[in-house]
Structure 1
Amino acid sequence: MFDDQIAGNIAHGVDLPSETFTTKTTTNPGGAPLNTMDPVDHAILAVGLYAIALHEQNKRKRKARIWTRKWLVQHLLW
């Protein structure tokens, strides 16, 4: 529903309110501004970081397998 409404607004050239794209700013106990994230943005960021971590872990495993095969070839099949 919401996506259809946004797509329709974009197709018809309707300007979206600026509140759609701003973050909520509150003040923490120290008085400094604190930007809060939308839960959807937070979830997207978490999934992205998880994907990067998983990729790095798989890259390390692949590299370890390559060195293991190389060692076996050099030391056992000479």
Structure 2
Amino acid sequence: MLEEEVRLLWAASRKNNFDLHALEAQAPSAEDQLALVTSRAKKMVEIVTEQWFQIQHLEQALEIAKIRALEVQRQSSM
């Protein structure tokens, strides 16, 4: 009975060691992928931020154009 438990514990230990080595082998690739995804996400944030500023400027330009159009319309109706 005790010998069987020891055998099972050794088998579990070998499996855990194998799994650990497999995970350690995969870690560098996962770290590289994480760095790539992080870099892409940062670039996307920069692009979105720049586009937001462009939208704000376009909205301001549109409002100015509307005001000028109204002014021209008023002047031409007088």
TM-score, normalising length: structure 2: 0.50
* Structure having the higher Rg: 2
More helix by share: 2
Q: Which has the higher contact order (CA 8 A, sep 6+)?
A: 1
More strand by share: 1
